[in-house]
Chains A and B, each alone.
Chain A
Amino acid sequence: MSKDEKNKDLSRRDFLQKGFRLTAALSLGGLGIFLAKDASSEDGLWQIDPSKCVQCGRCATHCVVTPSAVKCLHVFDMCGYCDLCGGYFRPEAKQLHTGAENQLCPTGAIKRNFVEDPFFQYEIIDELCIGCGKCVAGCDAFGNGSLQLQVSHDICVNCNQCAIATNCPADAFERVPSSKKNISKGFSGGEDV
């Protein structure tokens, strides 16, 4: 190849490069502007829609964090403070006392506090709860549904794709903007669903 030809070749290559670079820059810019118009300034967070959840138990096993970032949330506003709590006692429980054999929760994460006759307050100990949803199912079936599974933001690492969401049979997980960070059923302190 002669010098001239080579230079011609190089300058043509240069020109093509410039053209392609411009095209790429324009498409990146266009894509950016197009998406930014509709983008949200808030971060996206994962939450469970408690009205969809069927307490399948996968929340306890599919989270990338162990124990799961999903915990039971007790919505006190909805609680009947029942003595015989469907979320606390095992179905076969013979007596209503706090013996481990009577408790539904596999980790003993629910604390039963006496309030006044005949009412008891049930408190979830987050450190023990593994998000298995057994109590939630019990409360849903026999009580008011005040026990609900929910993603705990302080533990959740906010995966771009929640590993539980991909496995949830009820499609109960959703991305919410950070201003709506707590969704729950019938809860006057948070956002209702």
Chain B
Amino acid sequence: MFKVYRNIDFFDCPFPKGSKKDYSTSLGIRQCFQRILPLGSGQKFFEKLIREISLVLLTLKSRLCFSRLKPRLIPLILVLFLSIFSFDASAQRFPKPEFESGFEQEAHQLTLPRSDFMEYFDVFVLLVAMSLITWLILKKRSRKGVFWMSIFSILYFGFYREGCVCSVGSLQNIALALFNPGYKIPLTVLAFFLIPLVYALFFGRTFCAGVCPLGAIQDIFAWKPLQLKPWLQKMLGLIPFIYLGLAVLYAATATDFVICRYDPFVGFYRINAEFTMIVLGGLFLLTSIFIARPYCRFICPYGVLLNWMSRFSKYHMTITPNECIQCKLCENSCPFGAIEIPEVSVPKEPKKKSVRRFVSLALIIPALAILGAWTGAQFHENLAMVHPKVKLAEEVFIINENGGFDENNTENETLEIDAYRRSGQAAEELYAEAEIILKQFYTGGIWLGGFLGLVFGFTLAGLSLFRYREDYEPNKGECLSCARCMDYCPVEKEITVKN
């Protein structure tokens, strides 16, 4: 009985076309089956019966060429079947057979993830690496040590851990967790986020020096660093703030993790990646030769947070182990332009002038913040279009405006529309969901714009301020604690002769 249905043309089903792609008729035949095979549970006899009947039907279909029958007959046949058996769509169409030959079903081919223990081990490695490199920089003052730590990080956090999870990306998990109660952030990710910041708060950006796998791979390429013009460095230095703002906005709205998506080096660490990613990463590394650490200085959003922490660090590294003798040897030693030269002759401006400047700044900064917030709110729809749901709702809206879905012409529709149509979700429900997301983007846009306005304002303020400084010092915010400048300082550690 079972063999009669060989050689049938399965796909020549006369039912309405539905799905596109290879299965131009699959939905049709699927509908047949769902109606033909109303399998309840435990009704062995009926199951067998249905199975056979359906096969006979299929055989009939091929033998008599079902499709040549008048289409009107088909619903009739279906109704016949439906009236005999109750319809249960959730059950299996073909029940699992009971094997007579004693065949034992194989175990499922399940795979196991890396154990949680190993994830905690990574946190441990991070802690040890941070402590070690901090000690190497602050106590040993050893550039060599930092270099070898970089190599270790490239190997461990880079090639072995394949770049995930990294502290830079973890800031998005934080944003996601803060705004989406449904997301439970793993403790390990939280640790990856916090540990480098805590270290930066006390010891400066020792994480950047040689623990961050992204920084480390660029660092070893810094062969011929050029000094950038300070104004250019300042301008480019604003990009990380914008990137940080966008990354937090998109993570908080559960849209995407942009930092991960556009991480240029992770492709190297995984050996294979999309071609564009490899090219982007390659360009960054080539640039690194002349403009040291371009990603760190002009892109990295986590660097912004580290920069803030490091500014207030208590035990930040110093160029000289003792007292600066103004020899100027280190002046150009920093590949990142992070060394600030002494400013002893700060012009003492008249009180009136400084008051006026203070007042104008006090007006400009809030004004910029408000202007930014307003702009952010204006552009919230553009920002939100990145969200797949908003985009889908927009497309569905346009389709419905133009007369709804064309069931017979599904060839040109996008996969997204296809998936939506098959999910059977009501358009109103989709619009409502998109509406909520748009509201989130409205609020988010205000915050993002306000934040950027403040950043611009404070950068302006920073430009007009002079800070009194006697010695050559690293800029605590921008210094990556790479320890290069230390080698240039001729002062010995142990000069203690002083009166």
Contact = CB atoms under 8 A, between A and B. Distances in A.
Interface of A: 1, 6, 9, 17, 20-21, 24-25, 28, 31-32, 35-36, 38-45, 52, 54, 56, 58, 64-66, 73-84, 86, 89, 91-92, 94-96, 115-119, 121, 123-124, 126, 134, 137-138, 140-144, 152-161, 163, 166, 169-171, 175, 177-178, 181-182, 187, 189-190
Given A40-B184, A40-B187, A161-B261, 9 more contacts: A1-B468, A39-B184, A52-B423, A92-B11, A137-B26, A142-B29, A143-B93, A157-B162, A175-B183
Contacts of A152: 111
Interface residues of B, number: 93
Contacts of B106: 76, 121, 123
Contacts of A52: 423
Interface string B16-53: 00010111001101100100000000000000000000
Interface stretch (B149-157, B167-175, B294-302, B438-446): B167-175
Contacts of A65: 270, 272
B201 A24 contact: yes
Contact of B185 (A6, A35, A156): A35
Contacts of B33: 142
Contacts of B231: none
A81 B96 contact: yes
A6 B92 contact: no
B23 A91 contact: yes
A82 B30 CA distance: 16
Contacts of A137: 21-23, 26
Q: Would you list the 5 A-B pairs with minimal beta carbon distance, nearest first?
A: A80-B94, A161-B257, A141-B26, A153-B113, A40-B184
A40 B283 CA distance: 38
24 contacts: A25-B201, A31-B194, A32-B190, A38-B181, A40-B185, A44-B184, A45-B113, A54-B419, A74-B108, A77-B108, A80-B92, A81-B97, A84-B10, A91-B22, A91-B23, A92-B9, A115-B101, A141-B26, A141-B29, A143-B94, A154-B113, A160-B166, A169-B388, A181-B112
A1 B345 CA distance: 8
Contacts of B348: 1
Interface string B80-109: 000000000000111111011101011111
A154 B348 CA distance: 66
Contacts of A143: 93-94
Interface stretch (B219-227, B308-316, B365-373): B308-316
A78 B96 contact: yes
B65 to A, nearest CB: 16
A137 B190 CA distance: 39
Chain A binding surface, main DSSP class: loop
Nearest to B257: A161
Contacts of A6: 468
B48 to A, nearest CB: 12
B110 A190 contact: yes
B110 A182 contact: yes
A30 B10 CA distance: 63
Interface stretch (B333-341, B396-404, B410-418): B410-418
A101 B265 CA distance: 41
A118 B52 CA distance: 13
Contacts of B111: 152-155
A142 B28 CA distance: 10
Contacts of B389: 171
A159 B242 CA distance: 24
A170 B3 CA distance: 38
Interface in B304-351: 308-309, 311-314, 344, 346, 348
A150 to B, nearest CB: 9
Given A56-B418, A96-B6, A138-B23, A35 B177 contact: yes
A141 B272 CA distance: 34
B188 interface: yes
A154 B112 contact: yes
B260 A43 contact: no
A24 B184 contact: no
B164 interface: yes
A74 B419 CA distance: 23
Contacts of A126: 109
